[in-house]
Amino acid sequence: MLGFIHIAFPPLPALMAQLLIGLINGAFYAMLSLGLAVIFGMLGIINFTHGSQYMIGAFCAYLLLKFLGISYWWSLLIAPLVVGAFGIVLERLFIRHLYQLDHLYGLLLTFGLALILEGLFRQEWGSSGLPYSIPPTLTGAYNLGFMFLPIYRGWVIVASAVVCFGTWFVIERTRLGSYLRAATENPALVQSFGINVPRMITLTYGFGVGLAALAGVLAAPIYQVSPLMGSNIIIVVFAVVVIGGMGSILGSIVSGFVLGLIEGLTKVFYPEASSTAIFVIMAIVLLVKPAGFFGREFR
Partner 1 sequence: MRSALAANLEVGFAGRRVLGLVLLAAALGAPFLFYPVFVMKALCFALFASAFNLLIGYAGLASFGHAAFFGWAAYVTAYAVKSWGLDPVSGILLGTALAAAMGLVFGWLAIRRQGIYFAMITLALAQMMYFVANEVAFTGGEDGIQAVPRGTLFGLVNLDDPYAMYYFVLAIFLIGFAIIWRTVNSPFGEVLKAIRENEGRAISLGYRTEHYKLLAFTLSAALSGLAGATKALVFQLASLTDVFFSTSGDVLLMTLLGGIGTLFGPAAGAVIMVSMENYLAQFGSWVTVIEGAIFVVCVLTFRRGIVGELARFFPRWFADGGTPR
Partner 2 sequence: MQVKFLAGACAVALALGLGCANAQMSGKAVKIGVLSDMSSLYADIGGAGSVAAAQMAVKDFGGTVNGVPIEIVSADHLNKPDVGKAIVQKWIDEDGVDAVADVPTSSVALAVQQLMKEKQKVFLISGSASSDLTGKACSPTGVHWTYDTYALAHGTGNALVKQGGDTWFFITADYAFGHALQRDTADVVVKAGGKVLGSVDVPLNNADFSSYLLQAQQSKAKIIGLANAGGDTDNSIKQAAEFGIVKGGQRLAGLLVFISDVNSLGLDTAQGLVLTSAFYWDQNDETRAWSKRYMEQIHKPPTMVQAGVYGSIMHYLKAIKAAGTDDGPKVVAKMRELPINDFMTKNGKLREDGRVMRDMYLFQVKSPAESKYQFDYFKLLATIPADQAFRPLSESECPLVKKG
Taking the complex as a whole, the smallest distance from the CB of residue 241 to partner 1 amounts, in Å, to 10
Q: Give, as ranges, the residues between 106 and 125 that touch partner 2 (CB under 8 A).
A: 122-123
Which residue lies nearer to partner 2 by CB, 154 or 187? 154
Binding-site partner at residue 235 among partner 1, partner 2, none, CB < 5 to 8 Å by type = partner 1
d(CA 216, CA 212): 6
Q: Tell whether the torsion through CA atoms of 175, 177, 182 and 183 is positive or negative.
A: positive
Taking the complex as a whole, the smallest distance from the CB of residue 25 to partner 2 amounts, in Å, to 6
Amino acid at 7: I
SS3 state at 130: strand
Taking the complex as a whole, the smallest distance from the CB of residue 26 to partner 1 amounts, in Å, to 19
Regarding 9 and contact with partner 2 (CB under 8 A), the answer is no
Classify 297 in phi/psi space as left (phi over 0), alpha (psi -120 to 50) or beta.
beta
Taking the complex as a whole, the smallest distance from the CB of residue 192 to partner 1 amounts, in Å, to 29
SS3 state at 101: coil
Binding-site partner at residue 191 among partner 1, partner 2, none, CB < 5 to 8 Å by type = none
Q: What angle do CA 283, 287, 292 make, to 5 degrees?
A: 80
Regarding 141 and contact with partner 2 (CB under 8 A), the answer is yes
Q: Which of 21, 79, 113, 201 binds partner 2 (CB under 8 A)?
A: 21
Regarding 6 and contact with partner 2 (CB under 8 A), the answer is yes
Regarding 222 and contact with partner 2 (CB under 8 A), the answer is yes
Contact (CB, 8 A) for 74 and 193: no
Q: At how many degrees (to 10) do helices 229-244 and 249-269 cross?
A: 110
- Closest among 50, 75, 45, 46 to 60, alpha carbons compared: 75
Binding site for partner 2 (CB under 8 A): 6-7, 10, 14, 17-18, 21-22, 24-25, 122-123, 126-131, 133-134, 141, 147-148, 150, 152-153, 222-224, 226, 228-229, 232-233, 264, 267-268, 271-272, 274-276
